Amino acid sequence: PAPGKDAGTAPFGYLHCGPSGAGHFVKMVHNGIEYGVMAAYAEGMNILKSANAGKRQRTADAETSPLENPQYYQFDIDIAE
C-alpha cells in the first residue's frame, strides 16, 4: 500500500460488492477496462513499429550533438577559493 494509506477494503482477500452477482459484474467491468488498456498499448506499439522512426538520417542539433561528440563539450572550470 501507499505510504499513509490503508491496505484497502478487502482485509480477507476478497471484497463484498453487494447482492449476489454483483461481484461478477465488478469483475466484468474490470476485465473490460483491462482489455481496453491492453488494446490501446498494442495499437500504440503498432503505430511506433510502423512509423518512420530511426529510418532517416538524424541532423545535429543542440540537444544531440553533445551526446554524440562529448570531446568537444568538456569544460574545465577553475573557481578561485
Q: Considering the chain, what is the average pLDDT of its residues?
A: 80
Residue 28 has which C-alpha cell? 466484468
Q: What is the 3-state secondary structure (H, E, C) of 2-21?
A: CCCCCCCCCCCCCCCCCCCC
- The pLDDT score that the predictor gives to residue 80 is 72
| Residue 49 annotated as catalytic | no
Residue 57 has which C-alpha cell? 538520417
Element at 38 (helix H, strand E): helix 22-50
Element at 72 (helix H, strand E): none
What is the model's pTM?
A: 0.47
- The pLDDT score that the predictor gives to residue 8 is 59
| Residue 81 annotated as catalytic | no
- Catalytic hit among 27, 55, 63, 68: 27
Percent of the chain with pLDDT over 70: 78
CA 70 to chain centre: 30
Within 10 angstroms of residue 26's Cβ, the number of other Cβ atoms is 13
Residue 53 has pLDDT above 70, yes or no: no
Per-residue pLDDT tens digits for 14-51: 777 888 888 899 999 999 999 999 999 999 999 988 88
